[in-house]
Structure 1
Amino acid sequence: MDDVPVWAARLRAERRNRLWTQREMAKQLVDAADGQARARLPGRESLTRMIKDWEAGRHRPKDPYGVLYSRVFGMNEHELFSDGGAAPRRAPADVLKELHRQGDPLSPIANRNGRRVSTETVADLSSRVHSLRLADDVLAGGDLIQPAFRELEAAVRIYREGIHTEDVGQGLLVAIGEFAQIAGWVASDAGQRDQAARTYRLGISAAHEAGDGTLESNLVGSLAYQISNSGDPSEGVELAHTALEVAGPDAPPRARALCWDRVAWAHARNGEAQATMRALGEADDALADDNGRDEPSYLYWVDAGELQIMKARAYTELRRPLRAVPLLTDVLSRYNATHTRELALYLSWLAVALADANEPEEAALAAGRMLSLSADVASDRTAQRARVVLARLKPYRDLPQVRELLINHR
């Protein structure tokens, strides 16, 4: 690919990021054309051959194909076909190869003399990891980080030191992957993002070794979510699309929906509105598609309400408050008040959306409730969101309600 022009490599990368074949890309270009232009386009096979030539850099697309590409990818035509700018995003296969190149922290120790591990031990670990997830619903990362990592380390020790059959070993690897996912989430919530990233990668190794694509996808998606929030949003997009590819088209509906949700959020953080909207629609479709697959217990929380929350957050991130406010108001009217951290986080999005809608008094009310709820919550997420909310309200400091809030929470 070294001799391929930048614009050609960009066309290829953008297509692969969407997991489209060249034939599917041809369909997208046809669908993007209006009636008269569509009638003048060549047949699907001819257009597919043209796409191969374009991606190889043999010819630059002429009118109307540049316009059609920009519509499909949601990018400015000049930016899409320029010879400069940022390098194209990596394809999911390349991202996954890099994730797997992390060494093997799970190799059994030599001359193991530990006890024989039974299926009952695996079942006990599965029960314990689910209890940890349920605890995370009501406790913050600062409260859970020590017990979460004790459980993870114990599971790794059992796998490395114990004697077990191949089936039991696979069950242990799955348990390690599940512990790593929730422990990584807890560490991220506690503000320990480097520790969280290392833990997610440990889980990715365990799930990959166990051959559990759904779990591996969840772990890659969790890492994508963290990086989208606190790292390079473009890298978050790469990882989110990688998680989608690892899950595959036959993954359980909730798993596919969660992947698309994380893709949507990554694109929203990267300011890519069209890609965000498409991913949100795909998430809805995935959740509605009952393909008969058994769903892992760790997906219990993925439902229509969670997809609605992600839509509202994405709309807020894209500065579309008229879409975000009604969704957030609806969700908050029936949200479980025992989930204090999540309630505070969603109030923070409502406060920002109301400020963007030029409703500073209402924004101050939502912000005040958010700050009150999160005052004793040991969560770095709520602390970060509090800073975002207060910064967004500063332009309205001349209003009494806002001024009082800013003074009380300097």
Structure 2
Amino acid sequence: MPDATVDLPHWAARLLAERRQRGWSQKDLAKRLAQAAAKLGIPMPERTSLVRSIRNWEAGRYRPRDPYPVLLSRVFRLEERELFADAVMPPGTDPAQVLASILPEGELLAPLPTRGGRRVGMSTVTDLSARVHGLRLADDVLGGDDLIGPAFRELNTAVRIYRESTHTDDVGRALLTTIGEYAQIAGWIASDAGKHEQAAQTYRLGISAAREAGDRTLESNLIGSLSYQVANIGDTYEGVQLSRAALDTAEPDAPALARALAWDRLAWAHARHNDAQAAMHALGEAETALASDHGPTAPSYLYWVDHGELQVMEARVYTELRRPLRAVPLLTDVLARYDTTHARELALYLSWLAVALLDANEPEEAADAARRMCEVSADVASDRTTTRTRLVLNRLEPYRDIAEVRDLLARYPLSA
């Protein structure tokens, strides 16, 4: 009989194996998770719902999200990073297949030994830059699953032009910068599609391209993008270290928006690492940087960084640190004027508002925010929104006896 775990994601097979090795049933594991959560003061859903979640994790239907990775690590007495480490992805998957085809062995961006392609100039760079910005604008309104194919085809094209064409040194540096910009948005899209290993590999490609081009602001942005992913799904200490590296790379004379974003990502990493004092300090530095006119004009890929977006990050930090009285007013203010065409971000911000309201012991208002979140995200092909939706609904489960919560959970069941 074939091994049923062969086709499972590595982390799912590991969870299943660790439970079976201990001779536990899924109900046994649920009981231990509830006990670990009680010691940490974390509310848990009903036991039947938790067993259903365990069943889904072990089947690889979706990956455990906060607070479950920490709880599972405690129960199994393993490091979180070890328990949820990804195996090497097999070739032939999308976008890994595309990445494998465009990343040569050795130096990632080494030109071909003999270039037989056409000679390209700055007009080609201008065309590529326009197309990469088009991808960014598309990402504002579409989810990662919808964009991952086009994004990696565009990245593939940019790398091939660089490797196979002839060009001057100045054009070559400009092409490398464009590749770095493509890698940043493609990595972000892959992460939004739940392809985290591919996203990390793509960010590393971009870091290499930006470094070779001598563009420290772009290199900082790429390191920061990687740090944000690591802080969210991996080792939070590593996330802090990467965020600091991004800040150091940006340099004091970087554009104000770049420095503000680097400080903001560091604040988030500290919050994920549960270092409130360091997170507060970084938020203050981000505000100072944003208010500064020092430094050159910000590059076009930072078009989305403004006071409103940094206000959201500040609110998220407060929510992560369980300071709802500071988070709720900030999120309410931002959501009152947020562009409703940006459905993914709107749903994510509503999810943070729902969590903050629960921490403020306002389950009725939290249910209303969660309902809006579910409605907004219904047609968004994004792993981020799917994950956040499950987290919020799980957090609401203990309040099922409240009519607003009960109606919401009946309309959007966790098992759906």
| Same fold at TM > 0.5 | yes
Shift of 1:318: 0.4
What's the counterpart of residue 306 of structure 2?
Answer: 303
Structure 2 distance, partners of 1:104, 1:371, is: 45
Structure 2 distance, partners of 1:292, 1:312, is: 27
1:379 aligns with 2:382: yes
SS at match of 2:380: coil
What's the counterpart of residue 210 of structure 1?
Answer: 213
Mark the structure with the bigger radius of gyration.
1
What's the CA shift string for 1:343-368, capped at 9, x where partnerless?
00000000000011000000000001
What's the counterpart of residue 281 of structure 2?
Answer: 278
- RMSD in angstroms over aligned alpha carbons? 1.2
What's the counterpart of residue 124 of structure 1?
Answer: 127
Structure 1 distance, partners of 2:309, 2:284, is: 14
Structure 1 distance, partners of 2:388, 2:217, is: 30
CA contact (8 A) 1:104 1:205 kept: no
Shift of 1:182: 0.2
What's the counterpart of residue 321 of structure 1?
Answer: 324
What's the CA shift string for 1:356-386, capped at 9, x where partnerless?
1000000000001101111111000000100
Structure 2 unaligned residues grouped into runs of 5+: 1-104
Structure 2 matches for 1:154-165, cutoff 5 A?
A: 154-165=157-168
Shift of 1:103: 4.8
Runs of 4+ displaced beyond 6 Å: none
1:193 aligns with 2:199: no
What's the counterpart of residue 407 of structure 1?
Answer: 410
Structure 2 matches for 1:173-192, cutoff 5 A?
A: 173-192=176-195
1:267 aligns with 2:267: no
What's the counterpart of residue 32 of structure 1?
Answer: none
Which amino acid in structure 2 is aligned with residue 273 of structure 1? A
1:390 aligns with 2:384: no
Which amino acid in structure 2 is aligned with residue 335 of structure 1? Y
What's the CA shift string for 1:112-133, capped at 9, x where partnerless?
1000011100111111111111
SS at match of 1:116: coil
What's the CA shift string for 1:138-168, capped at 9, x where partnerless?
1111111111101000000000000011000
CA contact (8 A) 2:254 2:295 kept: no
What's the counterpart of residue 366 of structure 1?
Answer: 369
Question: Could you tell me which of 341, 347, 352 is aligned with 1:338?
Answer: 341
What's the counterpart of residue 251 of structure 1?
Answer: 254
Structure 2 distance, partners of 1:104, 1:317, is: 39
What's the counterpart of residue 16 of structure 1?
Answer: none
SS at match of 2:146: helix
Structure 1 distance, partners of 2:387, 2:163, is: 38
What's the CA shift string for 1:6-36, capped at 9, x where partnerless?
xxxxxxxxxxxxxxxxxxxxxxxxxxxxxxx
CA contact (8 A) 2:253 2:295 kept: no
Structure 2 distance, partners of 1:298, 1:104, is: 26
Which amino acid in structure 1 is aligned with residue 303 of structure 2? Y
Larger mean CA deviation between 370-379 and 173-182 belongs to: 370-379
What's the counterpart of residue 35 of structure 1?
Answer: none
CA contact (8 A) 2:237 2:273 kept: yes
Which amino acid in structure 2 is aligned with residue 236 of structure 1? G
Structure 2 distance, partners of 1:335, 1:176, is: 31
Structure 2 distance, partners of 1:330, 1:288, is: 20
Structure 2 matches for 1:10-49, cutoff 5 A?
A: none
Structure 1 distance, partners of 2:316, 2:110, is: 41
Which amino acid in structure 2 is aligned with residue 305 of structure 1? G
Indicate the percent of aligned positions where both proteins have the same amino acid.
70
CA contact (8 A) 1:200 1:222 kept: yes
Shift of 1:109: 0.9
CA contact (8 A) 2:143 2:381 kept: yes
1:220 aligns with 2:223: yes
Structure 1 distance, partners of 2:139, 2:161, is: 24
Structure 1 distance, partners of 2:236, 2:281, is: 18
Shift of 1:407: 2.2
TM-score (ref. length: structure 2): 0.73
Shift of 1:105: 1.2
Which amino acid in structure 2 is aligned with residue 283 of structure 1? A
CA change 1:292–1:234 in 2 (3 A) is closer
What's the CA shift string for 1:46-75, capped at 9, x where partnerless?
xxxxxxxxxxxxxxxxxxxxxxxxxxxxxx
Structure 1 unaligned residues grouped into runs of 5+: 1-101
Structure 1 distance, partners of 2:340, 2:412, is: 23
Structure 2 matches for 1:67-82, cutoff 5 A?
A: none
Structure 1 distance, partners of 2:401, 2:339, is: 34
Question: Could you tell me which of 340, 345, 350 is aligned with 1:347?
Answer: 350
Shift of 1:408: 2.2
What's the CA shift string for 1:267-301, capped at 9, x where partnerless?
01111100000000000000111114121000111
Structure 2 distance, partners of 1:234, 1:326, is: 29
Structure 2 distance, partners of 1:302, 1:157, is: 31
TM-score (ref. length: structure 1): 0.75
What's the counterpart of residue 84 of structure 2?
Answer: none
Shift of 1:110: 1.3
Question: Could you tell me which of 134, 137, 150 is aligned with 2:137?
Answer: 134
CA contact (8 A) 1:267 1:276 kept: yes
What's the counterpart of residue 238 of structure 2?
Answer: 235
Shift of 1:134: 0.8
